[in-house]
Amino acid sequence: MGVMEIPKRQAATRMIWPVIPLLFSACGSLSDRSARSLPQASDTATGNTQLLASAVRSTSLSAIRQPYTTVRTGLAVLWHRPLGIVSGNVPIPTDILPQPAEVPGTEEFERLLDQRRLSHRESGKLTWLVDGPGFFSELDRQLAAAKESVRLQFFIYDNDDVAVRYADRLKAKAETVPVRILFDDLGSAFAHTAAPETPRPDGFSPPADIARYLKSNSKVQVRRSLNPWLVCDHTKLLVFDRQVAMMGGMNMGREYYSEWHDLMVKVEGPIVESLSHEFGRAWRKAGPWGDLAMFRRPRFFQPPAPVDGGYPLRMLRTDAAAGQDQILKSTLLGIRAARKRIWIQNPYFAHDDIAREVEAAARRGVDVRVVLPARGDSTIMDAGNLGTARGLIEAGAKVYRYPKMAHMKVIICDGWAQVGSANLDILSMKINRELNLAFSDPKAIRELERKVFLPDFRASKLIRHEETRGPVAPIAEAVADQL
C-alpha cells in the first residue's frame, strides 16, 4: 500500500481520511470485501459515518477509559508491526531451535507447556459445530434452554437479515433472562459496510447502528469493545447459564449462517467457569470504568460439574495489554516438536516464524498438510496465502485449496490440537485479543480428524507449485501479515 495524498479541496475525501488507518487494523481484510459488495450494504454515506464514529470512539474513549491498556497495546503495536515487516522482508539468517524431546499429545509435552507458564489445564469436553447449520442450530437450543443468563461476545455483530433476526430473538429472550452482548467496535463497523455474497431479502433494510437496534425497546445490555491503536478484540465466546459455552471462528451474520465454511465448539464442564470469567473481564473493561473495573473482584460462582467423557483443556490467549502470547508460544512449540504430522486449516497464513517452523518440519519428513480457502474475503490475503504456500510446497508440504471461503482456525500436531479464533499472522499472535483451546485427548483428536480435516482434504484440491508463482506474492505476504 502506498502513501495516499489527500487533496484539501475534496471535502468528502477529507471526511474519509480518518478511516484510512483502519485498513491497518485487524479489520483491514474486511475492507476488500466491503469494496466488492457495497451496493448491497448500507448506503455509502451511512457506512462511512459509522466508520468515522467508530474511529473517534477508538481513539478518544479508549484513551480516557483504558489508559493502561492503551499504553501497553501501543507499545506492542510499535514493536511488533515494524519487527514483522523487517523479519519477513530482510534476509536475516534465522536458526531453527532444536526439537524438544517431548512429543505433542503426551503427558510430557503437556508438562513442557506447564513449564513455559501457559495457563493450567481444566476439565471439559468439546462438541464440534461445523458450518452454519451446526453452530446456529446449537445456538437456538442454548437460547431456548437458558434460564439464568445469556452472554455473547463476537468480533462482528453484523446488520444483515440474519443478524437482525437473531437480534429480535435476543430482545425477546431478554424479557425473561438477562442478556448481554459485547462486540468489537471496529470489526462490526467495517462489516456493516459490506453485504453478504447472497442477495438480501426483498424489502429488508439494514439498521445503520446495530447496537441502537438491539437496545431499542429492549432489556438487552450492549457494549462495544474499544480499539486502542485500532487493535481489535477478535474473540468469539458465548456463555449460557455459566454451564455451557461456545467459542471458535464464527461471528453473527449471513456469511457464517450460510455462506462460509467455519467452525465453533460447544464446551461443557468445569472449564466453562474460566470462560465465564473471561467474558466478565471483557464486559467490565468495555464499560464506563474501563481499566479500573479490572480491580473489582469477580463474583464467585460454583463451577459446572464434570461431564461424562471430559478431558483436560488448556485455555490460551493473545492479549497485548496483558503481555500474553500463549497461542504463539504453544503453536511454535507444537510444530517444532511434531514427529509425524502437522495438519493446519486457517484462512490467513502469513506469520513468518510459524511458516519457517512448518517448512522445517516438512523437510524433516513430517506429514504437513495445510488447507487454505480458494477465495477469501480479501484479495491481498489470498495473494499472501499463495506466497506462504510457495515456501511450504518447496519444503515438501501438501497445500490444499478449499472450494470456498474457509474460515476455520485449527491445527493438529501429532496428538495435540488447538482450535479457536486466532489466525496465523502477527495480529492474532502478538497484538489482537484472541482465544484458543488446546487438548491432547485421543478421542477428541480422532473426532476432529473425522469431522473437519478428512472431509476437507477430500473436498479440496492440491495447489501446484506453478500456481504460486507471481511477482506480487512475496509483497502480498508481507502486507497480509500486517492485516
Tens of each residue's pLDDT in the chain, 483 residues: 333 333 333 333 333 334 334 344 444 444 444 433 433 444 555 666 777 777 777 778 888 999 999 999 998 888 887 766 556 555 555 667 889 999 999 999 999 999 999 999 999 999 999 999 999 999 999 999 999 999 999 999 999 999 999 999 999 999 999 999 999 999 999 888 877 788 889 999 999 899 999 999 999 999 999 999 889 999 999 999 999 999 999 999 999 999 999 999 999 999 999 999 999 999 999 999 999 988 887 777 788 999 999 999 999 999 999 999 999 999 999 999 999 999 999 999 989 999 999 999 999 999 999 999 998 776 777 888 999 999 999 999 999 999 999 999 999 999 999 999 999 999 999 999 999 999 999 999 999 999 999 999 999 999 999 998 866 555 555 555 555
Pairing of strands 367-373, 341-345: parallel
The pLDDT of residue 38 is 38
Cell of 87: 523479519
Give the count of beta carbons closer than 10 Å to the beta carbon of residue 445: 17
Grouping H, G, I as helix, E, B as strand and the rest as coil, residue 212 is helix
> What structural domains and CATH numbers belong to the chain?
97-120+313-482 (3.30.870.10), 123-311 (3.30.870.10)
Pairing of strands 311-319, 341-345: unpaired
- Helices 379-395 and 352-363 sit at what angle, rounded to 10 degrees? 30
Q: How far is CA 172 from CA 22, 165, 177, 259, in A?
A: 34, 11, 9, 27
Would you say 150 and 254 are in contact if contact means Cβ atoms under 8 Å apart? no
| Angle at the Cα of 323 from the Cα atoms of 319 and 329, rounded to 5 degrees | 80
What are the E-state strand segments in 403-453? 410-413, 416-420, 434-439
The pLDDT of residue 36 is 39
Would you say 69 and 228 are in contact if contact means Cβ atoms under 8 Å apart? yes
Ramachandran quadrant class, 388 (left: phi over 0; alpha: psi -120 to 50; beta: rest):
alpha
Q: What is the pLDDT of residues 172-222, one digit of tens each?
A: 999 999 999 999 999 999 888 877 788 889 999 999 899 999 999 999 999
Give the count of beta carbons closer than 10 Å to the beta carbon of residue 420: 28
d(CA 140, CA 135): 9
The pLDDT of residue 37 is 40
Grouping H, G, I as helix, E, B as strand and the rest as coil, residue 378 is coil
What are the E-state strand segments in 39-178? 121-130, 150-154
In single-letter form, the type of residue at position 418 comes to Q
Count helices and strands (H / E) in the chain: 18, 16
Cell of 262: 467455519
Read off the pTM. 0.88
The pLDDT of residue 363 is 97
Buried b (16+ CB within 10 A) or exposed e, 62-93: bbebbeebbebbbebbeebbeebeebbeeeee
Grouping H, G, I as helix, E, B as strand and the rest as coil, residue 29 is helix
| Residue found by looking up cell 470504568 in the block | 289
| Residue found by looking up cell 462490526 in the block | 188
Q: What DSSP state is assigned to residue 424?
A: B
User: How buried is 101 (Cβ within 10 angstroms: 0-12 exposed, 13-18 middle, 19+ buried)?
Assistant: exposed
| Beta bridge mates, 180 | 151, 221
d(CA 103, CA 111): 11
Give the count of beta carbons closer than 10 Å to the beta carbon of residue 302: 8
The pLDDT of residue 463 is 96
Q: What DSSP state is assigned to residue 166?
A: H
Backbone angles phi, psi at 420, to 5 degrees: 165, -140
Give the count of beta carbons closer than 10 Å to the beta carbon of residue 56: 11
